[in-house]
Structure 1
Amino acid sequence: MRRPFVIDGNAMLKSYYTQSADDRTHTFPAEQRQLNGWLRVAVTLVCSVLTLLTLYFAFTIAPDQIEARSLFLAFTIPLTMLLYPALVSRHSRPPSALDWLLAAAALAAFSFAFFRADAWLDRFVGYDAVPPLDMAMGIIALLTVFEATRRSVGPTIVVLNLVFIGYALTGPIWPGIFQHGGMSPTRFIETMYMDAEGIFNFITGLIATFIFTFLMFGVFLRLSGGDRVFTDFAAAISGHRRGGPAKVAVISSALMGMLSGSSISNVSTTGAMTIPMMKRLGFRNYEAAAIEVVSSVGGGLMPPLMGTGVFVMSSLTNMPLVEILLYSMGPALLYYAAIYFYVDFKAAQRGLAGVPRDQLPSLGAVLREGGHIFVPIFVLIALLLMKFTPFYASAACVVMTVVISYVRRRTRITPAKLLTGLEASARVVLTIAALITSAAIIYAVIVHTGLLNKVTSILVDASGGNLIIAVILIGIMSYVIGMGLPVTASYVIIAALGASALQNMGLSVLAAHLIIFWFAQDSTITPPICMTAFVGARIAGAPPMRTGWESMKIAKALYIVPFMFAFSSLLDPSIGEIVFDVAIGLVMFYVLPIAIGGYWRGPINPLGRLGFALAGCLLFWATIGPWSASLLPLAGAFSVLALSVVYATRMARADIHAKV
């Protein structure tokens, strides 16, 4: 008689804890503590419960808003206190008494909110009395969120929170347009803690639901070997070409971006392999780092995940997620094409060949052994197109990834790997849980104080109603506020402050938010605070600032495409208009590296570079407005381009003859 199938929990745990440290922790965030003994077992179990509970809610009816979000924070904030040390120097030490005290305080505050949620629904904010215990728990909740944020992402957003809180409490003393009625401390805590429009607003709801399951999806794809499959796939189709390793970095980072949407994670994962390969081929260390950095930043712009910010965008704009993803495909293609063209011209300029084919995996072998890993991604897209909620679609693909991994032995998610994935998913969400909650508090302050309308008026006045100036001002604001902030937090704050101003000037809601979303990416690569560039520079052994400036040069699409959102037809309902603008954009980004690098089959002088630059400007002009208005600049662009190519080709021939 066949024995029934059962999950042996003891055997599963034993298998998990006998894995090598590298097998078990490579999917865990490096900045978190790696614990030992009974505490390690306890954290594994708590993380697994959080992950399984979230999956359960995805397939059933989740609790009400405050209940679901407070339950999520009751897990994540205490775990953050235990896994992130108060000081970096204590990373290798077990949690201190202070860590345990803060974890217990956070657990008490958010558990209290969970059990009080029903009672809070029956009260009127601003009218009913606030019980002292509720007030005390609200203060504890805010303080522990701020401390968890400081530990996990640094003090910048905490300071920003304090500035906004100070603004909320001191409204009457502010001059002119910034003045508002103000909020008493009691009213502030009541609004933030005892109402669904405060700390438990929709932004926290996003991280507690489908942002979590999308991150989970990425973790399980990695555990099944998706990162290796994507890298091998990229190497098979581009490794043999001119500058091959750099092109592998571009393509594999684009694919990896579909897993995580995190630029730093992408650099750390693919950069460890591609940066040394590029250096060996002949790229300078800062060039290799910059190529990987800008390729990884594009992961946040690449459907179908696009980082966590796209889910916030869907909620802020009330637009279906799938519609935003579809409109983002063309811009993402332009971004990666611009990097690919830069790499190709740089390799040609240096005479850098690709990797011999016999040293690369074959495309057929890659697809035979790992092609099934792509199936959950296609299923995810199909479920979204079929109008399933992102929460359900992503959770279903997590389950599917585990099941389909058993098609091949090398991709199989064994019970031990499954437990690793459950824990790693919760650990990954801890990297942004406190951050997103802090951003939710800032958003709540902006809404409750009326600051949203005030900043809109200021931007409209400062730009004089000129859309070009307004977009430039939004770009500057994104860069300044984004210094030291992760992309999602930067996007939330700038969108709350500036999206309405762009809409008031005639832009669609999607155009306004995509402009801000793209500009929000720039602070991670633009000096002086360019965290992703710093990570790439560390791997390459390159100067961080030099890497940052090189990244800016390569990622020119990051600064140009937002203007295309404002003035071209990239977001037009007509597919023909979109295809036309994408095609012209591809030619434009093919031309610009020639003008910047000064090379076309050989060095070209400033006059030749000026011709290519002029052609690029005319091509951008051709994307503005309908087809009928594009004919004149398009004809001028191709005329100038043809003359520039002839001139540059003659220069290249003259240079060859001179060398001979």
Structure 2
Amino acid sequence: MSSAHDLADKPLSRSVFWIAVIFSAFQIWTAAYSPLSSQVIRAIHVGFVLLMVFTLYARSGRLGALIGWTLGGIGFLTSLYHWFYEADLTARAGQMTDADMVIGILTIILVFEATRRMMGWALPIICGIFLAYGLFGQYIPGPFMHRGYGLDQIVSTMSFGVEGIYGTPTYVSSTYIYLFILFGAFLEQAGMIKLFSDFSMGMVGHTRGGPAKVSVVSSGLMGTINGSGVANVVTTGQFTIPLMKRFGYSPAFAGGVEATSSMGGQIMPPVMGAVAFIMAETLNIPYIEVVKAAIIPAILYFTTAFLTVHFEAGRRGLHGLAKEDCPDPWAAVRKSWYLLIPLVGLVALLFSGYTPLFSGTVGLGLTVILIFGAAVIQGARPMMLRYLFWLLLGIACAGFVKFGVTDFFVIIAVLVAILLFLRHGKDALKLALNSLAEGARNALSVATACALVGVIIGIINLTGVAAEFGGQVIAIGEDSLFLALFLTMITCLVLGMGIPTIPNYIITSSLAAPILLKLGVPLIVSHMFVFYFGIMADLTPPVALAAFAAAPIARENGLKISIQALRVAAAGFVVPYMAVYSPALMLQGGTAWDTVYIVLKALLAITLWAAGITGFLKTRLNLFERVYIVLAAALLVAAMPLTDEIGFAATAVFLVWHLLRSRRTLPPHTQAV
């Protein structure tokens, strides 16, 4: 059986390709018109995912393919059961028939197996432990023993309620997340990667350590449209990692920079990662509130990476690309300006208070209209075709006035499709279909994780184990908030070594976030804390998913890459702690001055930390100086009486000393990393 990595770029077979296109079309249809109940949409969403996963990740040979199609077909049929018998299931909610039991058990087994094929054993094992606890927890001695639940109760919760497989994560996956993944797929197919690469190359490619800075900037920009760390590694990394190696960076450091930069895409507004949508739904707050909480930490995260590669380049004497070899960034924007319009429209809608579902639908419609429409009117011959396009656009606007926004986008999308066929024929149609298929494939890892992790949520809600676990940790945290935060961080990092960010966040937020709330940490800050360290887990040895995704591109051991990634991201570990002790960093309370003060203090702390890690500021630092500034940065983070004052004083003394010493120090010799 092929691994997920092996199949990342494998072309879809004809049959699976059309299944993926239909899957995307179904998701667009339900997002635009909501023709089915939420429970049915969730079930069919999972059914499509099972069908695609089992056919994509089938064993080689005819028998393997037959088994894959059989399991996928059964998985899809189980989803239709919820549609055909929706009224009966609602009427007898909680009372299981024999058919219900069969469908429910099959669904659980197939979701476990699909996730194993997609992601390996780690997440199924963790979810299996929770499932076993629900079935047999009454036999466990001690505080975690529960009263006992029958098989029918477990199956009902897992397969037919809204707290198990079809719970909040699947709801978010089948609505917001899928649309935004599809949005990113259309932009990538239309050339957004090239635009961002050319822009970042032109802006920072010629500066000190330019190739590494290109990685940071381009990955941050890509994070605004796809929100996926590993996807960023395998897209932008194909360009940036060889570029960094060519200009003197070691393969391990090049891979580490790309992995660190790419993972930051999950906290980079406006789209962020799938977790942001799950967080908004879980906390029952507008998505824009999550964006507001994430914006400053995201900037600090990328500033950390940017400073680290800048100091590392200074320490090694590495320079940027020749100015004449770098593209003109503004020429790239002028050439592909229309690619930015859907992104700008999406941001405007989100910040205007519209729901992510509405914003995503409109953003996707704008993508089709403006990207493909611009391709028509820019290259159209004869001139009559241009006039025809604008005439039809006017007709569609009239339709908007009469029918509303959804029908407007349907009308204009159809008209653009007609014009595309007239002007570009099969090429344009192929581009659109490829975008639909790639969007479906890109959504599989998110969707399988969301479905299976619902098992954990269902068991936690059914048994109430989170309250008992919380009591144990609160007893520790009453004496030391820092110790409670540290234990939460370790939990996130350990879980993240084997499972993706989404299930990591859901598990730790279910267990740890309520604990931190009781210890006085604002709710959204506690959720952002576990979210942030769930991301950092993908950089942490020994698993480090993002680092191992970069390994084949860098042609280096994934463990070495992950160690370098930790160096690049080291200063970023302090940001969540600063946010807990000073919530103004996430725009949670306080005055504008409080926010400005904590941001300036955070910038100073991460600059010192990055310099201490790399061993360079204005010139090389000796061991004593490195230890000194790391301790000074720690004082700025500590948030205890007088620590800020001592930290600022220690920093001022060091900077005066360092500037005086650097004037007497020759520039470092150029070396290869």
> Same fold, TM exceeding 0.5?
yes
Q: 1:198 to 1:535 in 2, by over 3 A?
A: closer
Measure how far apart 1:181 and its partner are. 1.2
Q: Distance in 2 between matches of 1:180 and 1:191?
A: 16
Secondary structure of the structure 2 residue equivalent to 1:296: helix
Picking from 101, 106, 113, the partner of 2:70 is 101
Aligned-residue Cα RMSD (Å) equals: 2.3
Aligned to 2:104: 138
Check conservation: 1:322, 1:384, Cα contact below 8 A: yes
Matched residues in 2 for 1:652 and 1:388: separation? Answer: 53
Deviation per CA, 1:125-148, whole angstroms, max 9, x where unpaired? 2xx3x2111111111111111111
* Aligned-pair CA distance for 1:95: 5.4
Distance 1:657 1:386, change over 3 A: closer
Aligned-residue sequence identity (percent) comes to 29
1:608/1:647 contact within 8 Å kept: no
- Superposition map of 1:280-429 within 5 A: 280-405=246-371, 406-408=373-375, 414-429=428-443
Work out whether residues 65 and 196 of structure 1, in 8 Å CA contact, stay in contact via their aligned partners in 2: no
Q: How does 1:494-643 map to 2 (within 5 A)?
A: 494-568=508-582, 569-571=584-586, 572-573=588-589, 574-621=591-638, 624=639, 633-643=643-653
Q: Is the counterpart of residue 276 in structure 1 residue 242 in structure 2?
A: yes
* The one of 643, 666, 670 aligned to 1:656: 666
Instruction: Give the whole-Å Cα distance in 1 for the aligned partners of 2:519 and 2:648.
Output: 32
- Residue 483 of structure 1 corresponds to 497
Deviation at 1:111, TM superposition (A): 1.1
Distance 1:317 1:166 in 2: 28
Structure 2 residue aligned with 1:229: 195
Superposed displacement of residue 637, structure 1: 3.2
- The 1-side partners of 2:610 and 2:38 are apart by 50
Change (3 A) 1:404 1:80: same
Equivalent residue, structure 1, for 2:11: 34
Match in the other structure for 1:3: none
**Distance in 1 of aligned mates of 2:275 and 2:479:** 28
Write the deviation string for residues 394-427 of structure 1: whole angstroms up to 9, x where unpaired.
1211111121113257999822100111111112
Conserved 8 A contact 2:259-2:550 = yes
Q: 2:164 aligns with which of 181, 185, 198?
A: 198
Deviations for 1:479-532, whole angstroms, at most 9, x for unmatched residues?
122221011111111111111100010111101100010111122111111111
Q: Compared with structure 1, are the counterparts of its residues 515 and 505 closer, same or farther at alpha carbon in structure 2 (3 Å cutoff)?
A: same
Larger CA deviation: 520-529 vs 108-117? 108-117
Matched, 1:63 2:33: no
109-118 vs 483-492, which deviates more? 109-118
The secondary structure found in structure 2 opposite 1:166 is helix
* TM-score, length basis structure 1: 0.89
Q: Is the Cα contact below 8 Å between 2:181 and 2:226 reproduced in 1?
A: yes
Q: Structure 1: state its 5+ residue gaps.
A: 1-27
Counterpart for residue 179 of structure 1: 145
Alignment partners' CA distance in 2, 1:276 and 1:33: 22
Cross-structure match for 2:185? 219
Say which SS state the counterpart of residue 225 (structure 2) adopts: coil
Separation (CA, whole Å) in 2 of partners of 1:432 and 1:268: 17
Q: Does 1:81 align with 2:54?
A: yes
Contact 2:300 2:572 in 1 (8 A): no
Cα shift at 1:555: 0.7
Q: Shift of residue 613 of structure 1?
A: 2.2
The size of the alignment, in residue pairs, is 614
Query: Which letter does structure 1 place at the counterpart of 2:184?
Result: G
**Which whole-Å CA distance do the structure 1 matches of 2:529 and 2:151 have between them?**
36
Q: Equivalent residue for 1:24?
A: none
CA contact (8 A) 1:243 1:353 kept: yes
d(CA) in 2 for partners of 1:94 and 1:566? 54
Q: Residue deviations 1:99-123, cap 9 Å, x none? A: 1221222122111122222212122
Q: Which amino acid aligns with 1:58?
A: A
Tell me if structure 2 keeps the 8 A contact 1:32–1:84.
no
Residue in 2 that maps onto 1:47:
20
> In the alignment, residue 64 of structure 1 is paired with which amino acid?
S
Letter in 1 for 2:498: G
Say which SS state the counterpart of residue 85 (structure 2) adopts: helix
Aligned counterpart, 2:415:
none
Whether the 8 Å contact between 2:577 and 2:637 is mirrored in structure 1 is: no
The answer on whether the counterparts of 1:369 and 1:408 sit within 8 Å (CA) in structure 2 is: no
Partner of 1:254: 220
Partner of 1:447: 461
Distance 1:599 1:177, change over 3 A: same
User: CA contact under 8 A between 2:209 and 2:310: conserved in structure 1?
Assistant: yes
SS in 2 for 1:603: coil
TM-score (norm 2): 0.87
- Match of residue 14 from structure 1: none
CA drift at 1:54:
1.4
**C-alpha contact (below 8 Å) 1:239/1:245 kept by paired residues:** yes
Distance (whole Å) between structure 1 residues aligned to residue 668 and residue 460 of structure 2 = 65
Contact 2:470 2:514 survives alignment (8 Å):
yes
What whole-Å deviation, never above 9, does each CA across 1:200-242 have from its counterpart, x for those lacking one?
2222111111110010011011011111101111111111111
Q: Which runs of 4+ in 1 moved over 6 A?
A: 409-413
Maintained 8 Å contact 2:58/2:67: no
Equivalent residues of 2:478, 2:519 under 8 A apart: no
CA distance in 2, matches of 1:47, 1:607: 58
> Deviation string for 1:245-281 (max 9, x for gaps)?
1111000000111122211111111111111111111
Aligned to 1:111: 80
Measure the CA separation in 2 of the matches of 1:531 and 1:575.
Answer: 38
Question: Which of 153, 157, 161 is the matching residue for 2:127?
Answer: 161
Equivalents in 2 of 1:498, 1:414: separation in Å? 49
Which range moves more in the overlay, 203-212 or 385-394?
385-394
Are the equivalent residues in 2 in contact too, given 1:518–1:558 (CA < 8 A)? no
Counterparts of 2:607 and 2:291, CA distance in 1: 25
Q: Which amino acid aligns with 1:85?
A: A
Report the alpha carbon displacement of residue 544 of structure 1 after superposing the two structures with TM: 2.2
1:635 shift after superposition: 4.5
State the distance in 2 between where 1:454 and 1:117 align.
36
The CA distance in 2 between the partners of 1:517 and 1:194, in whole Å, is: 28
Kept in 2: contact 1:339–1:554 (CA 8 A):
yes
Distance 1:121 1:337 in 2: 52
